[in-house]
Chains A and B, each alone.
Chain A
Amino acid sequence: MTTAAVPRTHRQKEIRRHLLLYAGVTPFLFIAVFPIYWMAITAFKQEPDLYRMGNIPFWFNLPPTLKNFETLFYQTNYGYWIVNTLTISAWVALITLLTAVPAGYALARLKLPGAENIGIAIFMTYLVPGIILFLPLSRVVATLGLQDSWWALVVVYPTFTIPFCTWLMMGFFKTVPMEMEEAARVDGCGQLSALVRVVLPVSLPGVLTSVIFAFTLSMQDFLYGLAFVAPGDQKPVPVGVPTELIRGDVFFWGSIMAAALLVGLPVAILYNFFLDKFIQGITGGVGK
C-alpha cells in the first residue's frame, strides 16, 4: 500500500478477475438467452427467410416484417386469448386477495392455536401437482357446468395461488410490528378496523406482490387449460398458441413465435422483478 505501483497491479488484477468471470458467465447467458433471441428474430422474419439454409440464419436476410403479427390478430383467435388471459388472471387475483390476505393475517398475528401447522399444511397443498388433481377437478368443473368456458380456470387456478399467497402474506404480516395494532385497539378500533385501517395500508407491498403472483402463476399453467377448455375462443394464451396455431404438420413458425413473444416476454420481465420474493416465499419458512 505504500508504493505507487500497488494500485495499478490491483487494478490489473481486478480486470483479469472480471475477464475470467465474464468468460465463465458467457456460456450460461448464451444458453439462457439464445432460444428467446431465436424466438424474437423468427417473429419478425419473412416466411421464405426462415427456410433458406444457405444464409446465416442469425440475422435478417430479407427485410424484417410485421406480417406475422398481423396474421395473428386478423386470422386467429389471438385477440380473444389475450382478453381471456387478462380476465382470468384478474379474477384469480381478486379471489386470491379476498382469501389469502385475511388467512395470512389470521395465521401470522392472531395467535390461533396450531397456526404454524395450519400454515404449513396450506402451503404443502401448493406442492400437490396438477397432474394428480386434474381428473377429479374435471368432474368438479363438469358438475359446475363450466366445461368449455374459461370460467373453469377462474375456479381452478386459485388452488395453487391461494396456498402460495397465503404463505407469502403470512411472511409479510409477521414483519409488521405488533404495537401498531395494539395502539389502534387502545384508540378504540375493533379487530376488523385495526386490520383494515392500520395493518393493511403498511402491508400494501405484500398485497401487490400477491397480485403479481396470482397473475404470473396463472400464466404458467398449461395442463388445466388444455384439459378443461376446448373451444378455440375460450383459451388463454399459453394454451391457445400451442394448440390452435399448430394444425397437423403445418407450422406457421413466424406467427407462433410472434404470439409466444408478445405474451411471454412481459410475463418474464414482470416475474423477473419479483423472483427474489418467490424464492424467499418458498424457502423462507424453512431457512429460519
Chain B
Amino acid sequence: MDLLCVGVSHKTAPLDVREKLALGPDQIAEALQRVSGAAEAMVLSTCNRVEFYAVASSPQNVRDSLRSLVASLGGVGSLDHLYEHDGDSALVHLFRVAASLDSMVLGEAQILGQVKDALELAQQRGSAGPELIRACAAAFASAKRVRSETEIGRAAVSMASAAVELATKVFGGLEGRAALLVGAGEMAELAAKHLQKARACPILVSNRTRARAEELATVIAGQVRDFEDLDGSLNVADLVVCSTASPVYIFTKERVAPLLKVRRFRPLFMVDLAVPRNIAPDLGHLDGVYAYDVDDIQKIIADNSNARAIEAAKAESIIAEEIARFVRVRSVRDSVPVLAQLRARAEQIARAEAERTLLGLGDTISEKQRRSVQAMALAIINKLLHEPTARLREQGGDPGPSRLADAAAELFGLQPGGGQAAPKDTGTPPDVSAVAQRGRQR
C-alpha cells in the first residue's frame, strides 16, 4: 500500500485557484466519496492549501481519479498548480505540513489542529484506515516534538503580535494593563485581539468617528473613549496602539511630556502602526516613554523570521529522525505477517507429518510416546525456523536496501503483507531535505 498526496498550496497556486478548490466539511465528505480506487482517503482544506491524501495499492489509478476530481472542482487550469507526492515523499510532505514547515508563516500553530480535524472528518466518514491513522499519529507526534524542542513558533511574525511581544518587554505580562486603541480600523481590531489574548484590560477605543469606535468596542468588549479627550485616555493607558489615517502627528513630545508627571512616571508604551505616522519620532526620547513605528516593528518581524528559519533547520532534522523511526516500525510490522505465515505453514506440515507417522505406528506406542513424537516434530521446525525468524525481525527494524521478508515470501510461496499487497518501500528512510527542496521548487 502506498501513500499518495495530490494538492495545491500557497507555494504553487495563487489565491483565486486555492479559493476555487477550498472545501467545507460537507464538500469534503462528498469529495471523499468521489475518490475511487483508494483504500483510505483524507482531505485537508485550509486557506493556504487543499490536499488529498490517499492510500492505495495502485497509486496511478488513484492519482488519475484525484486529478479529475481537482479538475472538476477548480477547472482544468488548476492542474497546472498541482503537486504530487507518493510513497515516502508523501509521508515526508505530511510530516512537514503537520509541523508547519510548509506553512506560509513558518511555525504557525494552527495547521496541526487543521490536519487533526481533517483526519477526524475522514474517520467519521469511514474513509481513514489504519495506514492513514498511523501516518497521521506519527506526524502529530513529530509536530509536537518540533514545537517543544525548537523555538519555531515562539517569535512573533505579525505586526500586531510583534507589537504585543515588544510591550511585554516593558511590562512583563500585560494582564490588567490598560490599552488604548487610537483608530478603529482593521489593524486596531487585529491588535485588540492580540491584546485580549495577552489579557490586557480594559481595552479603550478612541476614534474620530465615534460610531466606528462603538462598533469595534462591541466586538472586542472594550470601552469607548472620546477622541477629544485623548489626554485623559492617555493618563489611564499603559499601552497605546495608533492606527488612524491622520495626516499629522496626533501625539507629540509637547503634548505627552506634561502628562508624564500626572501619570506618576508610569511607563508608557506606544506603537504606531499607521502610515503616515501618528506619533512624532522624538516622543521616544522622553523618560519612560517607549515609542515604536512600523519600521521598528518590521525590524522585529524580520529578526523573528530569521530566527524561525534557523529553528526550521533543527525542525527538519527532528522530522527526519521521526520519519526514520516510523519507517523502521512499519518495516517490522510488515515483516510480521510473513513470519506468522511461515510459522503457521511449518507447524501445519510438522503436525501433519507427525500424525501420519503416528497412524503408521498404530497402537504400538503409549500416549506419552505419542506426545513425544508430536513435540519432536514441532521442536525440529522451531530449531529450523529460529535463525530465519531472528534475521527477519532484525532486518525488519533495520533500514536497508534488501527485504528479507519479500525474499522469504517468494521462497516459501507465502503472501507478503499478510494477505495484502506487498509494501513497496525499501525500509530506507527518505531524504527529507530533497523532498523539501522539491516541494519548494514546485
State whether these chains interact.
no
B positions within 8 Å CB-CB of A: none
A positions within 8 Å CB-CB of B: none
